Amino acid sequence: MNSNAGWELKIRDRALKNVEKFPKKDRERITGVIEREIGLNPYLGDIEKIKGEENHWRRRIGAYRIFYEIIPQEKTIFVFRIERRTSKTY
């Protein structure tokens, strides 16, 4: 759990375990984006709303996708999935 500019950042354990499988350079880039960018303002960057879900978004980081839920009334960002983009990602 992290707190940045009023937003609380939560990351699902399964998402963190998936990131551990990525190359070190990619892992550092992804965790940096989560902490320094998504954690400060989840509405900025290369994001797209996930269809059919009220507050679910995805952020593109090169070949990777970060999926998260924004809970505005609680000022919470919940990262629930981080994956390398494949034909089965969506």
**Antiparallel, parallel or unpaired: β 76-84 and 7-11:** parallel
Among candidate residues 29, 27, 25, 44, the one with its CA nearest the CA of residue 68:
44
Residue 85: per-residue pLDDT: 87
**Mind listing the pLDDT tens digit for each residue in 24-49?**
999 999 999 999 999 999 999 999 99
pLDDT class for 83, splitting at 50, 70, 90?
very high
User: C-alpha angle with apex 6: 54 to 73, nearest 5 degrees?
Assistant: 35
Structural domains in the chain, sorted by start? 2-84 (3.30.2310.20)
Among candidate residues 27, 29, 55, the one with its CA nearest the CA of residue 42:
55
User: What residue spans of 4-74 are helical by DSSP H?
Assistant: 13-19, 24-33
Mean pLDDT of the region 64-71? 97
**Mind listing the pLDDT tens digit for each residue in 3-26?**
556 799 999 999 999 999 999 999
